[in-house]
Structures are given as structure tokens and as C-alpha cells.
Amino acid sequence: MNGKRVRPSIRDSLLKSAVTLFAQNGYNAVSLRDIAKAAAANVGSITYHFGSKAGLLREIYARHTEPMNARRRELLGEARRISDLDERLMAILRAYVVPAFISSSESDGGGAEFTRLRAIMSAEGNPDARAIIADAFDETSRAFVDAVAECLPGASRESLVWRSQFLLGGLYYTLINPERVTRLSGGKAEGDNREEAIRELVAATFASFRSLSEADAEPAPVVTKQRKRA
Amino acid sequence: MNGKRVRPSIRDSLLKSAVTLFAQNGYNAVSLRDIAKAAAANVGSITYHFGSKAGLLREIYARHTEPMNARRRELLGEARRISDLDERLMAILRAYVVPAFISSSESDGGGAEFTRLRAIMSAEGNPDARAIIADAFDETSRAFVDAVAECLPGASRESLVWRSQFLLGGLYYTLINPERVTRLSGGKAEGDNREEAIRELVAATFASFRSLSEADAEPAPVVTKQRKRA
DNA sequence: GAGCAATTTGTACATTCGTACAAACTAGAG
DNA sequence: CTCTAGTTTGTACGAATGTACAAATTGCTC
């Protein structure tokens, strides 16, 4: 069905090793020999399967992008059916954040590792990556902003986009430098605890978006754990 | 006074070119020959002045870190004298954000370019950089979180740290990928407009922090431009 | 088992990298 | 001018990189 035999092993372990190494050290810093060594394979096999280093990166994106976006669309669809605007907003935020942190059950799909890879690639600004990334995620982001907009009557498109930018930035940076959270909190918070990160990021972004609504008469529900009644 | 002659020119233009190139392409992707060419100097002069590529990076950090932190401390000190807690919080946020975006009058000091460099370095996770960055900014971040905490009675340290993490992430990502804002907003927002970025980032972070306060009875002042009275 | 296409291996190549160092140059002091 | 310390230049080196390709190996079909 694929046009190619379903011989997995080497090709797959090359991809897996590449994702891990790229996500950890960036694209430039990792050599094809590093990848081959990690996959217990030969350098030549990379050229054979993927043509070039850029081709390898392209394949990685091809493998992960669609499943991750699909998962986001699915969750977004569910969220949109919630009638209460605040609850819906919260669900929308989770639909955006959760797939970026947690792999969608199957081995491929999004997950923290691939998201970290994306973060590093966007920072490195690598020409190879620029062309590949393209706007693979723009469509999803647009749908996300649209969905958020419906929850926030009166909010301007500009501010919604800005805040979605900060959301993505917070997401990326948390995956890139989680130790900072642990360090700065004196160990009271764990930067690499995914559930904790998701909860905090969603809560912070909720408040950030919520303040844009005209209807700020009703008290915004606070979801963070340390919430106390005064 | 410096122990060295004040012969500027080459050494300085090497530093300037290096910052620009590193901030644009990352550390690994830029070769010493690229830097030399951009500074119209010779490769050997880099080794002479800075010993190594890592030494060059070290000098860049040495030049910028302290002035930038000093500026932040100064603004933070001013902010702390404001009695109204909401106003103070806003001023504290600006004290953190503004120096990262805007160079402090003199040619050296912080500024967007150096902050972008820091963003890329933190993403690349380069070993050379790891050692240099150290906790040069941790002290400032701690003071910042402390100051914010005073404005938000009842907020937990963990959440404050998490939100400061998202602030830094949003800051970094805005400098790394400003085009996304422009693109996603259909040109209605300009990602590389520093004043706009500062205003939005501060407003978003204000709301994010503000929601942590016990005293959310009084309506949080909304500062974004599109604010309308319903 | 033979034949064959797909894969894996090993090796070679041209480039580019950071660094080292000797030679040439520069400018101020005596 | 001459000397000298401080720069700048040019070049060379070993290591590492992405890529190319011929040879060896594998696994399947008949």
C-alpha cells in the first residue's frame, strides 16, 4: 500500500535516534555519524533511506506533524461543543497544549520530544528546517485562535494572536529549559513534570486570554491548585 | 584603567559582528571565518583577542550581562516604591521586559539582539554556552519573582515561578519568531514592533499573574489598547 | 538452491571547521 | 631614526562533516 516494503527496524531506529538527538542538541550539532552510532547502523544507510540530512529531517516532520495536528483537531472539535464559554476556553487551551506534551498513545504522533525538536529548530533558524516547517502548523494555529475568539467576545484579533504567541513561547521554553523552574522554585515545582507544566501553562494562558473578554464582570474561575478563598 | 590600551576598532567590530551573527544563526552554525569576514578582519585576530570561539562568546556575555541586569535592578527598585499593588506589578513587569527589548541608551547593555542571542543559546544547549550562562540571570529572576510575590498575597511560589517561566518563554519566542505574529494576524499586528510586543507581553503576563491573587474582587485594570467599555 | 532486488557496509572524497603559529605590519617611546 | 611591544595577516594542520558509490550481504520468489 505504501509502495515500499514494510521492512522496519533500521529505518525506524534511525528516525527514532535522530529525533532524540536533534531534540537534545539541535540540528547542526548532531552529525549523521552520531545518529548512525545511536541507531547501531551505518552512516551510508542514512543516505540510502533519506537521501540527505535535510531529507531525514523532512521525514521526521512528515511522520509527526499530521498525527499531532489530527489529535489537536479532534480535541478542538470536542472542546467546541461545550456551551459554557469559560469551560470551553479551558478545553480549547488543553486541546492545544496537551498533544504537544503527551504523545497520542501510538509511538508516533506528537509528544514532548518532537515539540522540543520544533522549539530548537525554530530557534536555530536553520535554512533546511525553514523550508520544511513551512506553515505546517499555521493552519492549526489559525483554527485555535478562531476557536478562542468565539469564547471572548470583543477581543481583538491582534491581541489573541499575541497571546497565542506567548503560549507557544511558554510551551517551547518549558520543554527547552525545565531545570530553570525547578531551580528558581527551590525544588517546590518540577519543571519536567508534564502534568504540572500543562496545568500551569493552561491556567496562566486562560487568565491571559480571559482578561481580554468584554464580559469580565463574572469572576474568572481560578484553576490553579493553590487557590484559596480569602 | 582597564589594564589594556583603549585601541578599539577591530576588537569591537569583531564582537559586534559576532553578536549579530550568533543572534541570527545560532552558535554552531556560525564559523569564525564568517565573523571575521563580517568584521572585515582576519580569522587569526579572533584567536588573538579571545583565545577561542568559546572565549569570544564569554566576552559577549561579559559585555552585556551586567549592564542589562543593572538596568533591570534600577527599574525594579523604582517599581518597588509604588504603593498601589496593581500599578506596582505592572511596573515590575516592565522592569523585567523592557531592558530585554530595548538597549539601555549606550551601545552596550541589553537590547533585543542580545536577548535573541540568549534565546538561541538556551535552545541550542551548547556546552560552551552552558558553562558561560551559568546562573548569570538567576539572581535577577529571583529578585523579580520576589518583587512580584509582594504584589500578590496568597500566590504560591511555584505558580509565580511557572508564570515567570512562561513570561521568559514568550519573550524569547517573540524575538526568535516575530513573523508568526504578523502572519497569523494577517498583518494586523507587527511581530517585530518592539513597543507593541512589550505592551502585549506585559498585559498578558499581568493578567496571568493577577489571577493568582487572593484579592480578585477588585477588577483588574485592562491595559490592552482594544479595551472597550461594554 | 539459484537468482535477484533491496538493503547494509565500508571506504573515499572534497569541504569546512577551530586552532596554532610564524611572518609582516604598526605606532609610540627613547 | 631605532627599538619594541602590540596587532594583524597568511597559511597550515588535524579533525570532523555531508555525501557518493562500489562491494558485500540479506531475504524473498521461483
**A115-153 tens-digit pLDDT:** 999 999 999 988 888 888 866 788 999 999 999 999 999
26-55 of chain A touching strand C, CB 7 A cut-off:
41-45, 48-49
DSSP string covering chain B, please?
Answer: --SS----THHHHHHHHHHHHHHHH-STT--HHHHHHHTT--HHHHHHHHSSHHHHHHHHHHHHHHHHHHHHHHHHHHHHT--SHHHHHHHHHHHHHHHHHS--SSSSS--HHHHHHHHHHHHHT-HHHHHHHTTTTHHHHHHHHHHHHHHSTT--HHHHHHHHHHHHHHHHHHHH-THHHHHHTTTSS-TT-HHHHHHHHHHHHHHHHHTT-S--SSPPPP-STT----
Task: Give domain status of residue B163, yes or no.
Answer: yes
Residue B226 has pLDDT above 90, yes or no: no
pLDDT band at A105 (very low <50, low <70, confident <90, very high): low
The single residue listed with the C-alpha cell 517551547 is A172
Task: Give domain status of residue B121, yes or no.
Answer: yes
Q: Which residues in chain B have Cβ-Cβ distances shorter than 8 Å to A201?
A: 162, 166
pLDDT tens column, A65-74: 999 999 999 9
Task: Give domain status of residue A133, yes or no.
Answer: yes
pLDDT band at A7 (very low <50, low <70, confident <90, very high): low
Bases in strand D with any atom closer than 7 Å to a protein CB: 6-12, 16-22
pLDDT at A109: 55
pLDDT at A133: 81
Task: Give domain status of residue B224, yes or no.
Answer: no
pLDDT tens column, A9-20: 899 999 999 999
The arithmetic mean of pLDDT across residues B73-90, rounded, is 97
Closest Cα in chain A, distance from residue B81 (Å): 24
Q: Which residues in chain B have Cβ-Cβ distances shorter than 8 Å to A203?
A: 159, 211
Nearest CA in chain B to A117: B123
pLDDT at A216: 55
Residue B178 has pLDDT above 70, yes or no: yes
Task: Give domain status of residue A67, yes or no.
Answer: yes
Domain hosting A107: range is 62-210
The residue that leads in pLDDT, B120 or B2, is: B120
To test the contact with chain B by mutation, choose from A22, A34, A152, A159 the residue with the greatest count of B C-beta atoms within 10 A, namely A159
Task: Give domain status of residue B170, yes or no.
Answer: yes
Given a contact cutoff of 8 angstroms between Cβ atoms, the answer to whether A75 and A140 are in contact is no
Task: Give domain status of residue B31, yes or no.
Answer: no
Protein CA A49 to sugar C1' D18 (Å): 15
pTM more than 0.75: yes
Protein CA A44 to sugar C1' D20 (Å): 9
pLDDT at A107: 53
Q: What is the overall mean pLDDT for chain A? A: 89
Task: Give domain status of residue A178, yes or no.
Answer: yes
**Number of domains chain A is built from:** 1
Of A25, A174, A215, Cβ closest to residue B169:
A174
pLDDT at B215: 62
CATH number at residue A76: 1.10.357.10
pLDDT tens column, A19-28: 999 999 999 9
pLDDT tens column, B141-175: 999 999 999 999 999 999 999 999 999 999 999 99
The arithmetic mean of pLDDT across residues A93-122, rounded, is 86
164-223 of chain B touching strand C, CB 7 A cut-off:
none
pLDDT at A127: 86
Look up residue A201 and give its amino acid. Answer: L
